[in-house]
Structure 1
Amino acid sequence: MDAQRLRQKYRQFRILVMGKANAGKTTILQKVCNTTDNPKIYDSAGQEIDLSAVTPSREWGEHNIENEIIFEANPGYIFHDSRGFECGSTKEFKIVQDFIEQRGIEGASWKQFHAIWYCLPTDNASRLLTGVIINESFAVPMIMIYTKFDDFVLQTQQFFMSQGEQEEDAFEKASLLAPNRFTEEYAKVFNKTRFPPLMDDVSFTYYIDMDKPDANCDKLLEKTADALGDDTLRQLFVCIQKNNLDLCGKWGVKR
């Protein structure tokens, strides 16, 4: 199926982005879309929301999970943000759950979710946002993204220094071992939460120093493409990547 026919069927690739405020979601979406600009926001009726009166502390306006977030630099994506979803909040969990289920029964494939990105800041690993579940009847891939991982590296460095390591040696060791330490000590908590994820549908990835100009989300894009079970949908996802020739080559998608 060529790119034009893909767009006629799906129009855009739709992603639900989960995670609390200040979890690094904005930076990731900007990197994915190769822009530093803010997105345009549209309500459920397709009307653009005027952000000129929004204060900086209220990012992207009044939160509504139905709102569509689109970056002009790559309009092939539609994002929905579940800001407000907190561990133990039954109300917010129900909003997200109902929204996922409602989108899952949409007749038009382009209105359904195609993937979920769940951002978890690791700057305070002992208080990780947890408590997400994916309904078994709604099988879309979910990628867990651990953000602010540079802070966790520094925490790991402090841990090694407390064990007698010198500062420079401790940092080098932490840079190598922080991912494994995080997995062993924190990532496994998802199996014990009130609303554990369906682990068969979950992939894990890490990001460090996402605020740096040369940082990218290639690993996230690759994991998302790998997780998609529908070849046609995967081709759409790969087609809308504007600067990732390696991903196009891997899946044999012609630009």
Structure 2
Amino acid sequence: MENCAVGGRLPEKSLQDPVISEINWFINSIYQPAYLKYQKLSKLTRTISANSAILAFVFLSYFGLNTAFPKLNLFAIQTLHDGYDFNIAIVLGLPVFLVALIVCTRQKLNLAHLFLAIMLGPRYHPKLADRKERLLQTLPLLQVGLFLSLFLFCFTPQMVAVAGIINVIIFVGTYMVNRLFGYTSATTRNQIMIHNLKRLRREYEIASCDCGKFELERVQADAFASLFQLEKDNVARLDKEIMGDHYKVHDSAFNIIKGLRK
């Protein structure tokens, strides 16, 4: 008999074990890559959405204040500094942009690659896949940088109104893209599946410890049954989430259209 007491815990089974091999294949070939892929897209869309909400709040607040209290003359100076003094209206809004920049740190920004792309221009030739990923990761920072530049050097009523509307559109758009393509739900679903597979693997290691040949076959059969039941339940959940996300996006779109009509 094999001694199973090793350092206060049961030993792990060999990778050649059929159950362990199958579970590892599901984790490493299907669910872990899917989790990493959708996690990046989920974080990206949620970061852009959060930044858009913050920026829309800033710009529309200035537009609303100017409309409600025109005597404040918020847009008397259209830049941060007019050569004589700082524009207090702009200075008061800068902390909110700082919050948006902090939100950007949720992304892996790859600022070194962004700097090289700016400095080298056409001579910078990373792999296409790497270039696409790095560009996507820097989108939130580019978004905040663009609107911050407009805020600092083009501070007009027309600009804040247009910028506010654009950020509202981006907020709604990223929300709908996230829901329609299921980035966040896919991240959660794959993460839960990985957790369940690892738990099943450990349960099998415990149940099969010190088993005889015939008992081991029964334990393996039970483990395979549980494994494919997990897969079946995951597919059913996937179908349910896809239909639910589509219906929610369509309902949201129709509600927005109805609101605009009113």
When normalised by structure 1's length, the TM-score is 0.27
Structure label with greater radius of gyration: 2
**Greater helix percent: which structure?**
2
Q: Name which structure has the greater RCO, CA cutoff 8 Å, separation 6+.
A: 2
**Greater strand percent: which structure?**
1
When normalised by structure 2's length, the TM-score is 0.27
